[in-house]
Amino acid sequence: MKTFYSLLICILLFTANKSFGSHAAGGELVYQHISGNTYRLTLKMYRDCSGIGMPSSYTLCAKNMCTNGVVNVTLPLMATLPGGGANGNPISTGCPGYPTTCNGGTLIGYRQYWYQADYVLPAGCNQFTFSVTECCRNTAITNLTNPGGNNIYLEAYLNRALGENNSPTFTNIPLA
C-alpha cells in the first residue's frame, strides 16, 4: 500500500505541479556513475525561445525495481553548463539575415537548460528506472496530434548487474 501511495504522489507531482505551458520541445535524461552507489542524474531540456521561462528545478522519480519503491529527487537548474557555457543559451542563432526567436527574429529558436543532482542508490537492488514528465509539448511539433495537449516523458533505465555504468548520451544537441 505504501508503494501505491508513493507512486500516486509522484504522478500527482507531475500532473498538478509542473504545468508550465506548451513549449517543451525535447529532452534527455542521463545518469553517470560517480562512485559506489552514487550516480549523477542530469536532465537536459530544450525549450522554445518564444515560450515561457523554465522552472528552477524538476522532480525526478527514482523507482527501485526490486521493491517498486519510488523516491522523488529534486534536480536543480545548473548555474553553468559543462565547458563553461551559460544555462539557457540558444542552441542555434539561425542563419545570417534570418535570426531565431531567441535573437528577436521570427524563425523558431530553442534554448537548452540542464538540471542535475547526485543520488545515492539504495543497496541491495541492481535495477532502477528514472523518469521525468512535464506538461505540455511544444505546439510547433508537426508529427503529433495536438502536441500542446501532450506531456513529454523522459526515462532512463539502470541495470547495475551489468556493472557500474553510465547511460548513453547524445553527442550532438538533438534539435536543429
What b/e sequence results for 7-19 when a residue is b if at least 16 CB atoms lie within 10 Å of its CB, and e otherwise? Answer: eeebeeebeeebe
Q: Which residue has the cell 511539433?
A: 141
Question: CA-to-CA distance for 109 and 6, rounded, in angstroms?
Answer: 38
Q: List average pLDDT for each run of 10 residues in the chain, which is 176 residues long.
A: 40 40 79 96 90 88 94 95 87 84 87 96 93 77 69 92 88 72
Entry pTM: 0.81
Question: CA-to-CA distance for 41 and 61, rounded, in angstroms?
Answer: 11
Q: What is the pLDDT at residue 145?
A: 74
Q: What is the pLDDT at residue 91?
A: 87
Q: What is the pLDDT at residue 170?
A: 86
Task: Quick: pLDDT tens for 110-130.
Answer: 899 999 999 999 988 999 999
Distances (CA, A) of 72 to 14, 139, 144: 11, 29, 29
Question: CA-to-CA distance for 20 and 55, rounded, in angstroms?
Answer: 8
Question: CA-to-CA distance for 147 and 136, rounded, in angstroms?
Answer: 7
Longest dimension (CA), the chain: 60
